Amino acid sequence: MPRLLNGQVLFALGLAAMNTIYAGQVAAMDRPFATGEPGPAFLPMILCGFVYIAAAWIVIAEFRAAPAVRSTRDASDTIPALHVIGPLVAIGLTALFIITFFYAGYAVAAALYTFLIALFFNYETTGAPVRSALIALATSVGVTLFGWLFFVKLFDLYLPVWGA
Amino acid sequence: MISEIAQGFAALAHPMTFLHLVGGFMLGLVFGAIPGLTATLAIALLLPFTFGMDVSDALVMVAGIYMAGIYAGSITGITLNIPGAPSGAITTIDGHALMKRGEGTQALGMSALASALGGLIGAVVLIALAQPVSAIALMFQTPDKFSLVLLAVVTVTIVASGPLIKAMMAMALGLMISTVGIDPMVPVGRFDFGSYHLIEGIGLLPAVIGLFAVCEMIAQSAAPSSLQKAEAVAKVVRPRRRDFLPTRAHIREVGLIATVKSALIGVVIGMLPGGGASMASFIAYAEAKRSARAPEKFGNGSYEGLAASESANNAMCGGAVIPLLTMGIPGDAVTAIIFGVLLIHGLVPGPALLSDNLVVIAPMFAALFVASIFVFLSVLAFGPVYLRLSQINRGVLYGFIAMISMVGVYASSFSFFQMWMALAIGAVAFLLRSFGYPVVPALMGVILGPYFEEFLRRSLIVSEGDPTIFLRSPASVVLLALTALFIWLLRVRPALRAAKS
């Protein structure tokens, strides 16, 4: 990646972009002290200005810094590019869990979610798909049952067990 | 006051309350001992369950987790040279050196004894100081309160790991999250983008679960397991229980006065916003080395060094609770989440909390005291098991954490939207961590944001926009001077020294 577009710079620019969305809402509010009081826009306006300055500071510091020596990442023995694949899998499975929980309820969603999460971590550790699946299955049953006992039976919290 | 505290101890005699303490203590031991998991995460996961609990039971359980979690950080530090929590990092230096010398059981025993003494001293100081400090805090006016919150915001930011600008950015992001929803003073919605979900604001629970549990699970999914295998090089032994009792010679080597001094350092640092267990153990260790008869032993397996850091980090627990309960200022991530537990049950941390609700809070004081004793007993009961704690299957562990955290968000809010928020905050927190931005200032920003904004705006309304209102009250001036002093001591002076050298 060219030096001007390293990860730090892109992330700082991403934060600045999110800040712009926030700033758009601040602009729609009454100006601070327009009625003699600081008003709802007072602190957000200060924060907005600060985030732009901080993002610019980080970007300039990156430009001024000596080019970083590309460090070798610790690789997984079983899953290539784990530093990218792992977070995508974890976020994707969690999103899938929320959707399944909405449509199918706790029992199906929790069983599926814990099975897939446990399968991923076990496969990454051992590289043995069948053994990983068996451990994941046991984990899934145990954790789902534990969650139901704890949330519903012990603490009397409501969960849509078979669908919302 | 004494009768309420006595009632707090008596409450622990109730079987259910006692079970909550034991359950919290065990949870804290497991989470504290496993590298990557912390007491903070354990309390964050507990947060949804507290909805269904009696508030005293919830606080007792949190106290058990807190005390055990801080202590247990040293277990895998000593046995495997991998501190289970940041608080165990300094202990690891001498603890693992002792382990390599074949004195691992004695190191674990001394660590438990020092932690227990430190915890007891911290709990006693908490019981003694909580009400007097509350009485002083009751006299604070709005500008004083703003200066106090500013002190917390600034110190938490400047002590955070990594570049200061990134810590400041993280704090600003946390404050921004806190501004979403109904304005605290005027009944108008802010940053809701027309969504009725956002007008309620972003709940504390999704923020805590996202910043700690979801973020940790995502971070672990990116970490190869081979890394952990390679680090676990120390030999795991199976000793007898009595081997964990520290010998008289080792107790004499450490000395009671040195342990008490380290504990008092821990209490004071715990009381400072942003202090935390790591800083407490580091400063107590440095002071113990400075005043030691044999400083050359430090770093090569010194019981004195080990005891100093462990005594300080557990004493910090009692100290850290003082500003939370008396002034409503959480000093670190754990007390920030305890803040959430109190809010969930309708108790607002601050000067009036102890005068109105001491009977409800007193079992927590007693629990910190009793949990300190448990710390020492635990090494005798579970010493051999401690040596195998770090070998728990990662799939089971993260399957459990993932499910509990996400279902916990739903069970406490009945909102799928808040689940999405927890995931989004977790993903952003993972990116922040990956790019070197500390997440604790963000959490503090979320929690302190409403107070920061309200006290700032109220003060400026009273003064008609004149910022010198913060310099008119002696308490506010002292707090602002303290803020400036901390900036000087913790950031400016070290930077100047580094530039000179």
Cβ contacts from A onto B, under 8 A: 209
Phi-psi region of B162 (alpha: psi -120 to 50; beta: other; left: phi over 0): left
pLDDT number for residue B388? 66
Calculate Rg over the CA atoms of chain A: 24
According to DSSP H, which parts of A77-105 are helical?
A: 82-104
Considering only CB atoms, B225 lies closest to which of A50, A95, A125, namely A125
How many angstroms separate the CA atoms of B325 and B347, rounded?
Answer: 10
Indicate the residue type of B390. Answer: S
Q: Using CB atoms and an 8 Å cut-off, which of residues 116-155 of chain A contact chain B? A: 117-122, 124-125, 132, 135-136, 139-140, 142-144, 146-147, 150-151, 154-155
Q: How many CB atoms lie within 10 A of CB A85?
A: 16
Confidence of residue A71 (pLDDT cuts 50, 70, 90): low
Query: How buried is B96 (Cβ within 10 angstroms: 0-12 exposed, 13-18 middle, 19+ buried)?
Result: buried
Task: Decide if A51 and B226 are in contact by the 8 Å CB cutoff.
Answer: no
Query: What is the three-class DSSP state of A20?
Result: helix
Indicate the residue type of A125. Answer: T
- The closest of B40, B61, B8, B4 to B365, measured between CA atoms, is B8
pLDDT number for residue A4? 57
Tokens of B382: 């579970």
Considering only CB atoms, B191 lies closest to which of A25, A115, A117, namely A25
How many angstroms separate the CA atoms of A15 and B387, rounded?
Answer: 43
Tokens of B184: 């605290």
How many angstroms separate the CA atoms of A109 and A163, rounded?
Answer: 9
Judged by a CB distance cut-off of 8 A, whether residue B423 touches chain A is yes
- Higher pLDDT, residue B223 or A136: A136
How many angstroms separate the CA atoms of A143 and B126, rounded?
Answer: 38
Task: Decide if B190 and A44 are in contact by the 8 Å CB cutoff.
Answer: yes
pLDDT number for residue B233? 41
Task: Decide if A7 and B435 are in contact by the 8 Å CB cutoff.
Answer: yes
- The segments of chain B whose pLDDT lies below 50 read 230-234, 236
In angstroms, the Cα distances linking B407 to B44, B188, B211 are 13, 31, 16
How many angstroms separate the CA atoms of B37 and B73, rounded?
Answer: 9
Task: Decide if B172 and A47 are in contact by the 8 Å CB cutoff.
Answer: yes
Task: Decide if A102 and B227 are in contact by the 8 Å CB cutoff.
Answer: no
User: ipTM for the complex?
Assistant: 0.91
pLDDT number for residue B231? 45
How many angstroms separate the CA atoms of A44 and B453, rounded?
Answer: 9
pLDDT number for residue B459? 92
Indicate the residue type of A104. Answer: A
> For residues B139 and B331, is the Cβ–Cβ distance under 8 A?
no
Q: How many CB atoms lie within 10 A of CB B219?
A: 18
How many angstroms separate the CA atoms of A60 and B15, rounded?
Answer: 60
Tokens of A104: 């199918």
pLDDT number for residue B230? 45
Average pLDDT over chain A, rounded to whole? 87
How many angstroms separate the CA atoms of B10 and B4, rounded?
Answer: 10
pLDDT digits (tens, 9 = 90+) for A12-52: 999 999 999 999 999 988 888 888 888 899 999 999 999 99
Judged by a CB distance cut-off of 8 A, whether residue A96 touches chain B is no
Best residue in B185, B393, B407 for a mutation probing chain A (most A CBs within 10 Å): B407
- The closest of B162, B196, B198, B156 to B177, measured between CA atoms, is B198
Residue B221 CB contacts under 8 Å (≥ 6 apart), including other chains: A82, A86, A87, A89, A90, A120, A121, B398
How many angstroms separate the CA atoms of B92 and B72, rounded?
Answer: 12
**Phi, psi at residue B180, to the nearest 5°?**
-75, 135
> For residues B399 and A118, is the Cβ–Cβ distance under 8 A?
yes
pLDDT number for residue A130? 92
User: What's the gap in Å between the CA of B414 and the closest CA on chain A?
Assistant: 8
